[in-house]
Amino acid sequence: MADIQIQNLNKRYGTFQALHDMSLDVKDGEFIVFVGPSGCGKSTALKILAGLEAASTGSIIIGGEDVTELAPAKRDIAMVFQNYALYPHLTVRQNIGFGLMMRGTDKKQINQRVERAAQALEISDLLERRPKALSGGQRQRVALGRAIVREPRVFLMDEPLSNLDAALRVQMRAEITALQRRIGVTTIYVTHDQTEAMTMADRIVIMRKGVVQQIGSPDTLFNHPANMFVAGFIGSPAMNFLSGKVQRDDRGLNIDAGGLRLPVAEAAAAYLGKTVICGIRPESLDLARDDAPALEITPTLVESLGTEAYVHFKLPGQQVATAVAGEHEHQPLGNGTLIARLYDVGTPLSGGTIRLGLKPQASVHLFDPATEQAIS
């Protein structure tokens, strides 16, 4: 068990900068998730941590020891891969025990530890099988077993759940989190799925194009996104972005967005008279009272999920296409439509116009249209 310092890490492939001056301090026992769209450098960072790739510049210190130049074998880390990378020619028992054998542990002890790990993961009855004869979820457990049996200083996990089906993914997500909390090994987990990041991490490192965008707890990232990218990436459905002009009236600073009056904090005073981008989470919208100012919209689609409904709509001229959503960048979700997530709607919504208002306590996030940074 150990803390990790990543210091000014850079990685270049020719002229392509895969990782740009990344620094991070990981506390002992912390669960850190690197998240971002594909090509954001999260996997590169993990490979450099593992010693599978060399950093161009910068250093990595694990447990107070500079390991930048050290071979993966000597770093005392364990890694779980997306495709599990189980050795197909070895049985489950041999797979899990492989790392111990490489380190010269004696046979009896290997067997004991393998069986203990297998028990913890409930795969004791699979020990004599080969990986080919296992289901996806079982392979996942074996891969985890291979990692925990060595009791390493650090766990590295590279999208370990993305090859599982949805239901199993939710289950394994909870199991991995519980396992990590129980044994308390410092863990770095890479994923493109913001839900995994939000549900599992102590702290999230969100990255884009090789640059760290923000580091913080899931709550921090959700409630105080540093820029439009983070705001759009965290949360599902994604945040709505509308453009509007900052103005001042008798009730204070506000923005007029298509008939809706959005009150904003004094921090936006510097932008008085200018256009800014307002981020409103789908959850912040609700049906407006008849007398309140509201957005009058015609839904393009209403998805009803029983207790909640997703109302899709468009505001031509005002909506700002989100640049980011999901695994791949520049693939705006829902073609730039806006979404309101409404709870416990009694009346049928389809057909006709709907009046949407802001919930009383909901916050509006403001971003500078040029820099895309949050205004605060």
Q: Amino acid letter at 357?
A: G
Q: Which residues fall within 8 angstroms of residue 359, CB to CB, at 6 or more apart? A: 283, 284, 285, 286
Choices 37-45, 210-218, 235-243, 359-367 (CB under 8 A): range interacting with other proteins: 210-218
Q: Of 67 and 287, which CB lies nearer to other proteins in the complex structure?
A: 67
Q: Of 65 and 122, which CB lies nearer to other proteins in the complex structure?
A: 65
Cα separation, 164 vs 151, whole angstroms: 25
* Positions of E strands within 27-145: 31-35, 57-62, 65-66, 77-80
Q: Is 51 in the site for other proteins (CB under 8 A)?
A: yes
Q: Of 353 and 376, which CB lies nearer to other proteins in the complex structure?
A: 376
Q: Amino acid letter at 78?
A: A
- Minimum distance of other proteins from residue 342's CB (angstroms): 35
Cα separation, 335 vs 145, whole angstroms: 42
Q: Is 260 in the site for other proteins (CB under 8 A)?
A: no
Cα separation, 264 vs 362, whole angstroms: 11
Per-residue x/- mask for other proteins, residues 214 to 253, rule CB under 8 A?
A: xxx---------x---------------------------
- Minimum distance of other proteins from residue 53's CB (angstroms): 6
Of the candidates 165, 229, 195, 203, which has an alpha carbon nearest to the alpha carbon of residue 372?
229
* # residues near other proteins by CB under 8 A: 48
Instruction: Characterize 185-215 residue by residue with b for buried, 16 or more Cβ atoms within 10 angstroms of its Cβ, and e for exposed.
Output: bbbbbbbbbbebbbebbbbbbbbbbbebbbb
Per-residue x/- mask for other proteins, residues 70 to 89, rule CB under 8 A?
A: xxxxxx-xxx-xxx-x-xxx
Six-digit token string for 158: 């590279």
Q: Among 58, 99, 336, 369, which residue interacts with other proteins (rule: CB under 8 A)? A: 99
Q: Is 50 in the site for other proteins (CB under 8 A)?
A: yes
Q: Of 108 and 132, which CB lies nearer to other proteins in the complex structure?
A: 132
Q: Is 69 in the site for other proteins (CB under 8 A)?
A: yes
Of the candidates 57, 50, 80, which has an alpha carbon nearest to the alpha carbon of residue 7?
57
- Minimum distance of other proteins from residue 56's CB (angstroms): 10
Helix residue ranges per DSSP H, 126-277:
136-148, 166-183, 194-200, 218-223, 228-233
- Minimum distance of other proteins from residue 59's CB (angstroms): 8
Name the site residues for other proteins (rule: CB under 8 A). 5, 7, 23-25, 48, 50-55, 59, 61, 64-67, 69-75, 77-79, 81-83, 85, 87-89, 98-99, 102-103, 146, 150, 156, 203, 212, 214-216, 226
